[in-house]
């Protein structure tokens, strides 16, 4: 499998890179969408973090009249239950796991690798992390949903993985009820996600960025 193209940003540091955050964008965007947040996260240089922002392939998207755009999978209908192409989602998950494998080959221990994802990217991050055979550092799920909960075979190695879910109270694209549903589903599977809400739409906000920064530093500091 050829690796997905990606933007890579290493935090400037005298400390060798020893952690990675692989961050997935949402529908119609690309890896540049969240790369600009790296300075705002204000992660201490001593953490030695490499940020990886992969680009999804461009495919026809049914809910957008079949227009071709960057997408991790096709969405067939826009109702709250999200009719989507599971096979494409799982294929994207496999592609993200290949990026995890590469970071491990570069010398980063698996438990120092965090998967983050916004919207569509979050659904892929859930599947990729929870099915990965080695223990990962954490899952950062932003304005997203656990699309493959009834199909995934979770890995015992990640049963204790830290999970931070954050969602906008006024999200009209991915309704907040889907974030709540993800939390409940994860709890029923034995996970212990932390849930945060913010007064915002389908976006990110300064308060959330500060919370994400604290969470990342807590996860990588252990």
| Catalytic residue, candidates 119, 131, 143, 166 | 119
The yes-or-no verdict on residue 14 having pLDDT over 80 is no
Give the Cα separation of 49 and 166 in Å (integer): 22
Residue 90 lies in a domain: yes
Count of CB atoms within 10 A of residue 151's CB? Answer: 11
**pTM higher than 0.85, yes or no?**
yes
Q: Is 119 a catalytic residue?
A: yes
Residue 139 lies in a domain: yes
Residue 54 lies in a domain: yes
| Catalytic residue, candidates 55, 202, 211, 213 | 202
Q: CATH no. for residue 118?
A: 3.40.50.1820
Distance of CA 47 to the CA centre of its chain: 20
pLDDT reported for residue 83: 85
Residue 159 lies in a domain: yes
Q: Which of 183, 147, 184, 148 is nearest to 165 (CA)?
A: 183
9 φ/ψ angles, rounded to the nearest 5 degrees: -130, 115
Bridge partners (DSSP) of residue 7 are 53
Q: Is 85 a catalytic residue?
A: no
pLDDT reported for residue 6: 98
Q: Is 202 a catalytic residue?
A: yes
Helix axes 120-130, 86-105, angle to 10 degrees: 60
Residue 183 lies in a domain: yes
How many structural domains is the chain composed of? 1
Q: How confident is the model at residue 11 (pLDDT cuts 50, 70, 90)?
A: confident
Please write the tens of the pLDDT for every residue from 161-214. Answer: 999 999 999 999 999 999 999 999 999 999 999 999 999 999 999 999 999 999
Question: Which of residues 80 and 147 earns the better pLDDT score?
Answer: 147
pLDDT reported for residue 88: 97
Residue 1 lies in a domain: no
Please write the tens of the pLDDT for every residue from 107-123. Answer: 999 999 999 999 999 99
Q: Helix or strand or coil: residue 114?
A: strand
Buried b / exposed e along 50-72 (16+ C-beta atoms within 10 A): bbbbbbbeebebebeeeeeebbb
Instruction: Quote the domain boundaries for residue 199.
Output: 6-220
Q: Are 34 and 25 in contact (CB under 8 A)?
A: yes
| Catalytic residue, candidates 30, 33, 74, 171 | 171
Residue 169 lies in a domain: yes
């Amino acid at each position: 499998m050829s690796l997905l193209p990606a933007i890579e940003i290493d935090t400037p540091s005298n400390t060798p890179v020893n952690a990675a955050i692989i961050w997935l964008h949402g529908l119609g965007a690309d890896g540049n969408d969240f790369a600009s947040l790296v300075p705002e996260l204000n992660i201490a240089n001593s953490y030695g973090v490499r940020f990886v922002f992969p680009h999804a392939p461009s495919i026809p998207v049914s809910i957008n009249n079949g227009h071709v755009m960057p997408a991790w999978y096709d969405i067939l209908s826009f109702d709250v239950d999200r009719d989507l192409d599971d096979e494409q989602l799982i294929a994207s998950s496999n592609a993200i796991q290949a990026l995890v494998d590469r970071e491990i080959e570069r010398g980063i221990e698996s438990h120092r690798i965090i998967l983050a994802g916004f919207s569509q990217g979050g659904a892929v991050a859930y599947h990729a992390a929870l099915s990965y055979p080695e223990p990962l550092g954490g899952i950062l799920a932003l304005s997203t949903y656990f699309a493959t909960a009834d199909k995934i075979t979770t890995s015992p190695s990640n049963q204790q993985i830290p999970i931070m879910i954050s969602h906008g109270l006024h999200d009209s694209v991915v309704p907040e009820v889907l974030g709540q549903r993800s939390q409940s589903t994860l709890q029923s599977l034995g996970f212990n996600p932390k849930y945060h809400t913010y007064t915002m739409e389908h976006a990110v906000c300064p308060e959330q960025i500060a919370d994400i920064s604290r969470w990342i530093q807590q996860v990588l500091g252990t």
